[in-house]
Chain A
Amino acid sequence: MNRYWNEYQKTIADDHYFYERSCIRQTFFPGSETAFLRILREELGKDIFDDFRQHTCTGIGYHADIVPFETTMTVCARLFSLMTEHGYKNYVPSCVTSFGVFTEVLHTWQEHPELLEKTRENLYKATGREFEIPENLVHPSDIIYKFREELAGKMKYRLVNSFTGKPLKVVEHIGCHYAKIFPDKGVGKAEFPYVLAGMIESWGGEVVDYPERRHCCGFGFRQYLIQENRGYSISNTKKKLESMEPYEPDFIVTNCPGCTLFLDRWQYTIAEMEHKTYDKDGYGIPVLTYEEMAGLLLGYNPWELGLQIHQVQADHLLDKIGIEYNINDKYKGVSGTIFRKPEKPTILQV
């Protein structure tokens, strides 16, 4: 490996992980968390623990400035105490916001040891619990990145257009809090983020480099959470979509569940408001989580991954890759009930 590039790597533990679920990913993309655990356990043979007693890290509340940092630190400490109790040392939060929050908490304790002691006191007083600091903190995508070549060997499909034989053009979006706050905690740091690009290249695709590649997805916490402020959110997403449009990407893959949500939903809203879609045929640009991308290539059922609950539908992308699927499963519930399809948007094709 080039010695300069070596400086842009991070330590990613090999095995034995404690998994913390994400509020947004569970809410909007629950199949992605299921796919991640399946990939680790069944494809890679890893040990990863999912404790039922976990809870939010408060990240959205912290960045919306309604939860004091002292509270957030202690809530994070309780999550670390669950990890400690089960004998794990490698902490894996499923959300980029959480990853940023935990990184900030660990940084704070390193810079201010008295706050670590205060947090220990707070946690003990509130819950009687004690905790150890994780030896390794990584985002789940870091683990997929680390084992991307091993996974490539197990994949049924590649990121290649089955009709033309050409690599698919993929926009990757790593999310601001993955490497902008603490650049050395992300693969490739803030300047050469490679966590998703590495997966795309190893799995046969081509990364689209476009002017607003590093611009925020537009979440903005209070700028989305308050209805009145949502013009900020959609405007920033629109800026990215307009910037990537000339490159005709086949799909977008995201690191952070919030980014997945906004890049998906605002395409629908922009279509409704301005009769504008960002692909040639009016279907929009599909937005996948990295777990969905990996799961699809491994041959997992797209309708169990949850692609039908994205507003921009990915059926054309599946056809392009050559993925086999049963369309009758798409709107079927777990007991076999087939539901009426969702209402069609006015402009966006589905």
Chain B
Amino acid sequence: MGSLLEKLKQDFRFDDALKACMNCGICTAICPAAEFYDYDPRKICDTVQRGDEDEIEQLMRSDTIWYCGQCLSCKTRCPRGNVPGLLISVLRTVSQELGYFAESRRGGQQRELMRGVGQNILDIGYCVHPDRVNPERHPEQGPVWEWYVKNIKELAPKFGANYNGAGPGALRKIDDETMKELREIFKVTGGEKFRDIVLK
């Protein structure tokens, strides 16, 4: 393997993500994650830009890169056209490919995401679906959600949905041929391999 910086640069998104950072800190000023966590996107841009291999490796093994919420407010405001949120995506991808993610508590959550949203996509063709948002695990959804899920067979059609039915419409069951093609896309494009690496 070449240097970590070279590996990051192999991701074509890197060129859009980090051109030249002047450390002004506007990204940090507008960042919702920086308000909530001990998190500073300016420092991340600086660390990658300086190219210190040890620091980049330390960053990719840490919780830090997992605090971003991907709102991409930083994209609009950077006076140099950098996208710190996109740089985070590149760092997260490489961190997972190299197995570094599993060494931090926040990074390790990727396995839970893969077993949740990742599995939903491959099982049913949706990222999110009422059958997969269990009220017991989502108390924040409130009593209305519990009520809706309990009575969904009667309520969804009232809203015009085709809940788990054949043919078009909201919440339709996605047909077998479509699911087969979707899974094949994951196989051909590396999505399946990436899943295996994360769940290893």
CA distance A265 to B37 in the complex (A): 22
CA distance A342 to B113 in the complex (A): 30
- How many chain B residues sit at the interface, stated as a range, is 35 or more
Choose one: A55, A64, A177, A183; the contact of B174 (CB below 8 Å): A55
Q: Evaluate contact between A232 and B191: CB separation under 8 angstroms.
A: no
Q: Evaluate contact between B72 and A177: CB separation under 8 angstroms.
A: yes
Majority-rule SS of A interface residues: helix
Task: Determine whether A61 belongs to the interface, using a CB cutoff of 8 Å to chain B.
Answer: yes
Task: Determine whether A218 belongs to the interface, using a CB cutoff of 8 Å to chain B.
Answer: yes
Choose one: B72, B154, B159; the contact of A34 (CB below 8 Å): B159
Q: Evaluate contact between B185 and A64: CB separation under 8 angstroms.
A: no
Task: Determine whether A63 belongs to the interface, using a CB cutoff of 8 Å to chain B.
Answer: yes
Task: Determine whether A231 belongs to the interface, using a CB cutoff of 8 Å to chain B.
Answer: yes
Q: Evaluate contact between B189 and A333: CB separation under 8 angstroms.
A: no
Q: Which residue of B is nearest A269, CB measured? A: B140
For B112, list chain A residues within 8 Å (CB): 226
Majority-rule SS of B interface residues: helix
CA distance A345 to B140 in the complex (A): 11
Which chain B residues (78-110) contact chain A, with CB distance < 8 Å? 89, 92-93, 96, 106, 109-110
For A134, list chain B residues within 8 Å (CB): none
Task: Determine whether A188 belongs to the interface, using a CB cutoff of 8 Å to chain B.
Answer: no
Task: Determine whether B161 belongs to the interface, using a CB cutoff of 8 Å to chain A.
Answer: yes
A218: min CB distance to chain B, Å: 7
Task: Determine whether A221 belongs to the interface, using a CB cutoff of 8 Å to chain B.
Answer: yes
Q: A55-B125, A216-B69 are in contact. Are A123 and B185 (CB under 8 A)?
A: yes
Q: A30-B159, A71-B185, A343-B147 are in contact. Are A216 and B32 (CB under 8 A)?
A: yes
Q: A23-B128, A126-B187, A181-B75 are in contact. Are A342 and B171 (CB under 8 A)?
A: no
* Chain B residues packing against A (C-beta within 8 Å): 12-13, 16, 32-33, 35-37, 66-67, 69-73, 75-76, 89, 92-93, 96, 106, 109-110, 112-114, 116-118, 121, 125-130, 133, 137, 140-148, 151, 154-161, 166-172, 174-175, 177-179, 181-182, 184-191, 194-195, 198
Known: A108-B12, A215-B32. 7 other contacts (CB 8 A): A26-B171, A27-B130, A30-B156, A56-B125, A75-B185, A216-B32, A309-B148
